[in-house]
Structure 1
Amino acid sequence: DRIKTHADTLQCLITLMEEEALEKARLMDAELASGRYRGPLHGIPYGIKDLLAVKGTKTTWGAAPYKDQEINETAHIVEKLDDAGAVLIGKFTLGALAMGDVWYGGVTKNPWNLEQGSSGSSAGSASAVSAGLVPFAIGTETLGSIVSPSTRNGVTGLRPTYGRVSKHGAMALSWSMDKIGPISRSALDNAIVLSVLNGKDPKDQSTIEAAFNFSANKDPKSLKIGYFKSFFEGNRSSENDRKVLEFLENEGFELHPVELETSVAAGPMTMMLMVEGAAAFDELTRLGWDDELVAQHRNAWPNLFRAARFIPAVEYVNLARQRTVLIQEMHDLMKKYDVIVTPSYGGQQLQITNLTGHPALCLPNGFNGGGSPTSITLLGNLFEEDKLVLLGDYIQKNTDWQAKRPPLFNK
């Protein structure tokens, strides 16, 4: 009922899968009645970003050229969630081809301020969770598409390590950077979902077999925690960010100042995303379908894809070589700590950690002067999301930042 009532206002839903969801829900009820329990997601409704394929249902990628597209397979993670008993109720909006919050049907709204977009590109997933339409949703991130809408909508987003979650059946934007993760109300809920998503998939050769062993019984104060000192002093930091450090210190955590210093510049490496995206959507450009996309400004995909065709292969290879240096330097820094706390948009950490594949947990930490939610980010070592959840869960159980609800949808 909530999704029917509010989805149009938020412009967050592309496909409502009502009949399929009701059938699955009845099956889950029957299994419970017979004594079968599949786990903590048994009977729990959720939605997915509409770049994940579901056989028999359109998969639009949020873009007009693909608005009637059907893909004859189901994404691996959707199958895993189905096996875990979760009930898929719909496919949520994304900015066209995974950029921003503008899709072929409009602009996805922020439940905290309907005059504001929800950011993206996991726009509908974050908006729907914030408004209480679903307990959790699946998003993706290449360069900020979980962190940014989670921040804007005041929800908790977990970007897993690159290679932990299969991308089979998902739209490819950047084969070397795309990541899939959960968006929910809490770090703990995200951990429950990640435990299902996790695992090697023979159909996605980038996946790695790595255990995800979160235990709420561990002492979070045993973690060695660093923080990017200069980022908390910069213009992109806020009083809310500094309050998180104060909270941790007052709770008895020992915090170690550290700086994010690399020998190579991360900014130019984002050209790798442009090149890989241009390759993924080569047909779109060659056939002129990109004219159908809503956004046509200088930095929109149509122009970026065209510009990327002028980047020489030699430059792409050199960027890839520099990226290996960046990955090693980030690994050498992170291995000294269990968690590093950072403003979500501090310095170039968002670009760097997306290039290196390190995991991030984005947590609400208050509101800005205009009443919009803000966030803090916890960074971890490769395949150590459990430590991010351990600290994030402690923060959320001892503060009320994540407990706030958008007034228009808090009924």
Structure 2
Amino acid sequence: MRIPRGRRRPPPSLHLLLLFAALCFAALKTAAAAPRTGGTGEGGGGLASVTGSIMDTKDAIPAKDISRKEPVGGVIALKESMKYFDADFFNDSKLREMENGAKEFNVPAFRENRRLVAIKDGGLHDPSLLVFQSSWSSKSKVKESETFDYPQASMIQRPSNDEDIAFMSIIELGELIRTKKITSRELTDVFLRRLKRYGAVLESVITYTEDLAYKQAKEADDLLEQGKYLGPLHGIPYGLKDIIAVPQYNTTWGSKTFKNQVIDMEAFVYKRLKSAGAVLVAKLVTGSLAYDDIWFGGRTRNPWNIEEFSTGSSAGPTASTSAGMVPFAIGSETAGSITYPAARCGVTALRPSFGTIARTGVMSLSESLDKLGPFCRSATDCAIVLDAIRGADAGDPSSREIALEDPFHVDITKFTVGYLDSAEMEVVKVLSAKGAKLVPFKLNYTVESVQSILNITMDVDMLAHFDNWQREGHDDEYEAQDQWPVELRRARLVPAVDYVQAQRARGRLIREVQESFTVDAFIGNVTDWELVCLGNLVGLPIVVVPTGFKSIEHPPKGNTRRRTTVTTGIYAPPDHDHIALALAMAYQSVTDHHKQRPPIDAN
């Protein structure tokens, strides 16, 4: 138990000085009040004249104020700094008390807590117990079924060339493997060749996991020979964003500071995919410390227009999937890192409800915002991958077993689907023709600080996970100095009280969005920053759907296949990912935008 400190009494010598000073001032005031004689003889005249000159230049200081000292040293600095915390309302006495309290209590506590949990960067251990639950239901549901009831492709023939194989869907590739028309080893060959052919062009690959891939492919082929088929991901190659730990391989986080780092643990999502029989062929580019598309080896490019960059920190998974270098890949989003690159590179992607997929073994930015999700050829493929990797793990307190309905058996004619002004109208028309009820829609909320709430939350959480990195000066070697270095320095100036206020404002936003969400799902822009921030703060799932193309602004001379991709998003309430997936599958069942192939490095 800590005993509160009371006010300290001044030492006796100081009391005597104060008493003497008070008496002197009393005498001076009395003398000053007496009539001046103007003489120079004995008596009070001389004292009166001196006192008069003092009183003419400066007002007397009340005795009760004599104990107030002028601010010195740390108090002056503290007083000046408080304006950066929007808290410059303390007087000098209170600031001195705060300074002493910080020295005696706060700083030692800060240092001890950092020693316990912050020596290692990345947030892989000791997760926060302040757990965010995005569910709008007060009842905790348990996952109802182990797997979705996947559709089966029939009469699938093996193409004669690698290019056609590379752009087949998971369902199609899985059927080729199941019927032994191709082996996992052969598929692994195809995708490793493409990764090596285009990886340097797009700057999208960090590490080829070739030895592991052939080992896992052999295991998949051997199991099939024994009559054991693990499901649609059996023997299917894939890639992981390089914030996801895989033993014996570097997990670089895209940063030169950590490019030789090996994390001896299997991330939850990697374990799930391994148990489903999938084959890891590469660790794909993450922007440095999961920020944008710049990493220690370059900057990832867009396969649809190689003059553009992919945007978003899930740059490698997006570009590699778009270019047919992998059938699918796992990325992550804290604020736009799935939606932005998927939109730029024309890929179908799912940002699931917060908590759907455990993040154990994954570099952490913000424990209340981070989400893992798949980049695929289609919404059907996204549903298959989601089913394999969803689930809770003890290493991630925010993860949950969510009772998703089977998206392959959802009747969309029962849904009322809203559409924002930013929605692609082709999607509205197609879903309406498929039987859904489409209505104009707008989210109504009064919170005006949505974007700043996200930035405060993300930046402070990120700094907690990379506190040591900043203290050791590694931000000076960061790949893009206008990104994390600036934001994390600013995060040092966010007081704990205002971080909590931001979370309270976030709670208000969530309540208002829930009240305003009067439809089963809605269609809208995927790169509108306000909507990106809102969706991540609330925990809304979204499927990014390619909807077409338009000409690039500055095409090269001659004919060109380079295009700007057009996409839209299908949003659903938290824990209703199956609705967004079912609507996306319905749209893609009668369109082929998601099946188009980018020119990559061709004109």
Q: TM-score, normalised by structure 2?
A: 0.64
Amino acid at match of 1:404: Q
Q: 1:132–1:409: 8 Å Cα contact kept in structure 2?
A: no
1:47-72 per-position Cα deviation (integer Å, ceiling 9, x unaligned)? 00000011111100001101111111
Greater share of strand residues, 1 or 2?
1
Q: 1:57–1:70: 8 Å Cα contact kept in structure 2?
A: yes
1:59-91 per-position Cα deviation (integer Å, ceiling 9, x unaligned)? 000011011111111101100110010001110
Query: Partners in 1 of 2:364 and 2:410 — Cα distance?
Result: 37
Identify which range, 247-256 or 130-139, moves more after superposition.
Answer: 247-256
Query: Partners in 1 of 2:410 and 2:371 — Cα distance?
Result: 27
Query: Partners in 2 of 1:67 and 1:259 — Cα distance?
Result: 45
- 1:246 Cα deviation from its structure 2 partner: 3.2
Paired residue secondary structure (1:26) = helix
- 1:217 Cα deviation from its structure 2 partner: 3.6
Amino acid at match of 2:212: E
Q: 2:380–2:581: 8 Å Cα contact kept in structure 1?
A: yes
Query: Partners in 2 of 1:209 and 1:104 — Cα distance?
Result: 36
Unaligned runs of 5+ in 2: 1-192, 553-562
Q: TM-score, normalised by structure 1?
A: 0.94
Unaligned runs of 5+ in 1: 233-240
Tell me the residue number matched to 1:267: 451
Tell me the residue number matched to 2:406: 214
Tell me the residue number matched to 2:495: 312
Residues 1:276 and 2:461 are matched in the alignment: yes
Identify which range, 303-312 or 122-131, moves more after superposition.
Answer: 303-312
Q: 1:131–1:409: 8 Å Cα contact kept in structure 2?
A: no
Query: Partners in 1 of 2:492 and 2:550 — Cα distance?
Result: 40
Identify which range, 56-65 or 264-273, moves more after superposition.
Answer: 264-273
What does 1:20-99 correspond to in 2, within 5 Å?
Answer: 20-99=212-291
Tell me the residue number matched to 1:235: none
Residues 1:341 and 2:533 are matched in the alignment: no
Tell me the residue number matched to 1:359: 541
Amino acid at match of 1:325: R
Pick aligned residue for 1:295 from 480, 483, 502:
480
- 1:222 Cα deviation from its structure 2 partner: 2.0
Tell me the residue number matched to 1:248: 431
Query: Partners in 2 of 1:96 and 1:50 — Cα distance?
Result: 10
Amino acid at match of 2:258: Y
Distance 1:217 1:409, change over 3 A: farther
Aligned residues: 398
1:193-236 per-position Cα deviation (integer Å, ceiling 9, x unaligned)? 0001111111111011213332424332222211124x45xxxx
Query: Partners in 1 of 2:601 and 2:267 — Cα distance?
Result: 31
Q: 2:239–2:282: 8 Å Cα contact kept in structure 1?
A: yes
Residues 1:324 and 2:507 are matched in the alignment: yes
Query: Partners in 2 of 1:215 and 1:154 — Cα distance?
Result: 22
What does 1:173-188 correspond to in 2, within 5 Å?
Answer: 173-188=365-380
Query: Partners in 1 of 2:570 and 2:471 — Cα distance?
Result: 41
Query: Partners in 2 of 1:27 and 1:249 — Cα distance?
Result: 46
1:76-128 per-position Cα deviation (integer Å, ceiling 9, x unaligned)? 11001100100011100011111111100001111111111111110000000
Q: 1:198–1:212: 8 Å Cα contact kept in structure 2?
A: no
Query: Partners in 2 of 1:250 and 1:189 — Cα distance?
Result: 23
Identify which range, 362-371 or 211-220, moves more after superposition.
Answer: 211-220
Tell me the residue number matched to 1:166: 358
1:130-187 per-position Cα deviation (integer Å, ceiling 9, x unaligned)? 0001110000000010001101111011001111110110000111100001011100
Query: Partners in 1 of 2:243 and 2:465 — Cα distance?
Result: 14
> How high is the sequence identity, in percent, across the aligned residues?
39
Amino acid at match of 1:13: V
- Alpha-carbon RMSD across the aligned residues, in angstroms, is 1.4
1:309-348 per-position Cα deviation (integer Å, ceiling 9, x unaligned)? 01111111100011111112222233x3221111113462
Q: 1:195–1:212: 8 Å Cα contact kept in structure 2?
A: no
Tell me the residue number matched to 1:377: 569
Distance 1:409 1:215, change over 3 A: farther
- 1:251 Cα deviation from its structure 2 partner: 4.4
Query: Partners in 2 of 1:215 and 1:355 — Cα distance?
Result: 25
Paired residue secondary structure (1:80) = helix
Amino acid at match of 1:267: Q
Query: Partners in 2 of 1:64 and 1:129 — Cα distance?
Result: 25
